[in-house]
Amino acid sequence: MQHLARNSSESIFVQVPTTSPKMEVHAFDQQLLRLKRMLGVSADGEVAKALGMSKAAFSERKRRNAFPKDKLLALAGLQPELKLDAIYVLTGMPMSAPTTPESGRAAMQKAVFEQLRQDLSVDEQLLLEAYRALDDRAKKRLLSQVIFAWSGSSKCLHTASARSGR
């Protein structure tokens, strides 16, 4: 158990998983190879063009090992005739044939969320996992405490206003 939040009347304790975040070695290269196979191309420039990116932008992403997931998902959604399995490209696991469109959508959302979750820092992943482990009542208490603390800080309000352009 790990102590998550505390106010004057009660504490909230949650079970926090102790697993370390996944570390994928050369994830970009693996994803790129799978995408090339699905598109039937061999050059990075052809992949960049299919994703709607310049060669330079794609090369920069490759250098940073930051696969353009957003571009892949957009391509798969906008050009269904390509029959791209975005889940397979991102994870290496083919999407099983869903029995209903809703289950296919749910599987896609889950896979995309998991891929994006891996981009979070360890602290952010722990916060997300801890929050999800809470029951509805504890979630509401925690959120009310966070909102109260956040709204009481003029610095936070000023920062939020500046970011939103207000």
pTM comes to 0.46
User: Which architecture does CATH list for 27-117?
Assistant: Orthogonal Bundle (1.10)
Q: Give the containing element (helix H, strand E) for 14.
A: strand 11-14
Identify the weakest region by mean pLDDT among 25-34, 55-64, 103-112: 103-112
Tell me the domain boundaries of the chain.
2-20+121-164, 27-117
Give pLDDT, residue 150. Answer: 73
Residue 11 β-bridge partners: 6
Q: How many helices (H) and strands (E) does the chain have?
A: 9, 2
> 26-53 pLDDT, tens per residue?
688 999 999 999 999 999 999 999 999 9
